[in-house]
Structure formats: C-alpha cells, structure tokens
Amino acid sequence: MRIARFSIDGNVAFGAVEGEGTVESGGLVLDIIKGIPYTDFELSGTKVPLSKVRLLPPVLPNKVVAIGRNYAEHAKELGHEVPEVPVAFFKPTTSVIGSGDAIEYPSFSSELHHEAELAVVIGRMCREVPRDRVKDVIFGYTCANDVTARDVQKREAQWARAKGFDTSCPLGPWVETDLDPSDLAVQATVNGEQRQLGRTSDMIRSIEDLVVHITEAMTLLPGDVILTGTPAGVGPLTVGDEVAVTIEGIGTLTNKVIKRG
Ligand code: MG
C-alpha cells in the first residue's frame, strides 16, 4: 500500500494512494485513512483526487538518521575509503520537506549537491533490534534527497550545517509499505537529465545491518527515518533546477531549487 500525507482545505490527513500514474500525470486518488497509519487504521472510503491536494512529507519523523558512504563507488568519487563502521549523522526535523516543496539554496554555500537515497520508515518503537526482527520494525520505504552543501561539508568537521539546513531533507512522495528493498534502482535526474543511477543491492551495509547498528545506540520511534546512503553520481544543483529522485517500486520525489527569500 502507498500511504501519503496531504492537506486539503486546511485539513491534514493520511490517505492510501490508488490508481496508476504519477503525481504529475494525474489519475491517482487518495482514500482517506481513519486513524494513524503506524497502528490500526482503516480506509474511510472517502476519496479525493491527488491532483486536488497538497502533498506533505509522508511522515513527521522524530529524527532522521542518515548513513554516509554506504556505496563504494560514491565513497570513491569523493576520495574516501569505505569506512570500517558506518558513518551516521542526523538531519533535523526542520530539514524535512515533501514532494513539490522548494529546496532553498543556503546563503553560506556555493556548492549544493543532490544525493538520491532510499529512506526506511520505522513503524514501531524499538531498541537493540536483533537482525532477524528488523523487518518487524519497518513500516515502509520512501524516496529521499540528502541535499548537501558539499563545500561546507568539506570545511566543517561536523556535518550539522552542511546536511542539516532547512529544506535539506526532501521525503516522498509517499510511503510504500509492500516492497522488497534489496535490489531497487535508485535514480536522480536534474532538469530531466540523469545524474545518478545505482541499485540498493550495491549498498555496503544492508538495511538489516543499519537498523542493528543504529538501534544499538538509540531508540527509534514510529515515523523515524533512516537514509541509507547515496550511489555514485552526486553533483551540483543551482537555483532554478528541478531535481527528481525515483526509486523503483516507490515513485518520484520532485523538488525545485530556489533562492532563500
Ligand atoms: Mg547521503
């Protein structure tokens, strides 16, 4: 099931996405959900065309835990070795935006990069999750763009500003709950031109490894998000660009880059 979060006439709701097509092409309908998707919920049967709503980030995470350098080819393109333990960092909740929202180019950077990533959405509170229980704590998957001020990342020891500025974490367009994430194409395009194309099967650490590693340290809550790293091909974004992250079996997350007003 594809679960979107949206607003219509000032009200916010979750809905199950039905029909064929994309956000742009139309033809999709939302069946409004009664209750909260992570627990018991039912479909209301009340339907609205997706073209009539504003999509919101599909989850409101308590935290976004991101993993760096999880694809060997990407580590190499930035001149890094594959780390012995996964590199983990946070993106703040204020960095999260939805599909169709604008990425605001930060004033303190002149080298903004896209990073297409598979995002894991957690479905239940968990800590110290054993490998064989990881699938039980996952609610679903969505597309992410780990937008990075690369110049700032290079000159500051911690990545809080480089990867945590407002609008640096587009998520969406919805969460797909029925998906085998082990071998999916992950693509980024800028203005329709392909920039990144990788497969989740090339991750150095699997999703199981990452959930075990992160929950060894901290409790994850329903709605928390894990970004699983980006394949090779990261590159610059400029004001006016439209960047799209497409993941096989999920959909396309599209955002325009604007100057911060
Ligand atoms: Mg990344």
- Distance set, CA 76 to CA 71, 82, 99 (Å): 9, 8, 30
Kindly list the domain boundaries of the chain, sorted by start residue. Answer: 2-55, 64-259
> Structurally, what CATH architecture does the domain formed by 64-259 represent?
Alpha-Beta Complex (3.90)
Tell me the CA–centroid distance for residue 211 and ligand 1, in Å.
16
Tell me the CA–centroid distance for residue 241 and ligand 1, in Å.
19
pLDDT in tens, the chain (261 residues): 999 999 999 999 999 999 998 888 888 999 999 988 887 889 999 999 999 999 999 999 999 999 999 998 988 888 888 888 899 999 999 999 999 999 999 999 999 999 999 999 999 999 999 999 999 999 999 999 999 999 999 999 999 999 999 999 999 999 999 999 999 999 999 999 999 999 999 999 999 999 999 999 999 999 999 999 999 999 999 999 999 999 999 999 999 999 988
Tell me the CA–centroid distance for residue 161 and ligand 1, in Å.
14
Tell me the CA–centroid distance for residue 12 and ligand 1, in Å.
29
Tell me the CA–centroid distance for residue 65 and ligand 1, in Å.
10
Tell me the CA–centroid distance for residue 115 and ligand 1, in Å.
6
Tell me the CA–centroid distance for residue 71 and ligand 1, in Å.
10
Per DSSP, the residues of 136-157 read HHEEEEEEEE--EEHHHHHHSS
Closest Cα to residue 226, out of 142, 163, 103, 151?
Answer: 142
Fold assignment, 2-55: SH3 type barrels. (2.30.30)
pLDDT mean across residues, the chain: 96
Tell me the CA–centroid distance for residue 145 and ligand 1, in Å.
8
pLDDT at 19: 94
Tell me the CA–centroid distance for residue 78 and ligand 1, in Å.
12
Task: Check if 2-55 and 64-259 are the same fold.
Answer: no
Give percent helix, percent strand, percent coil of the chain, each to the nearest 5.
15, 45, 40
Tell me the CA–centroid distance for residue 37 and ligand 1, in Å.
27
Tell me the CA–centroid distance for residue 128 and ligand 1, in Å.
24
pLDDT at 125: 97
Tell me the CA–centroid distance for residue 4 and ligand 1, in Å.
23
Tell me the CA–centroid distance for residue 24 and ligand 1, in Å.
26
Spell out where 58-200 has E strands. Answer: 64-68, 87-91, 96-97, 102-105, 112-114, 116-122, 138-145, 148-149, 169-176, 185-190, 193-199
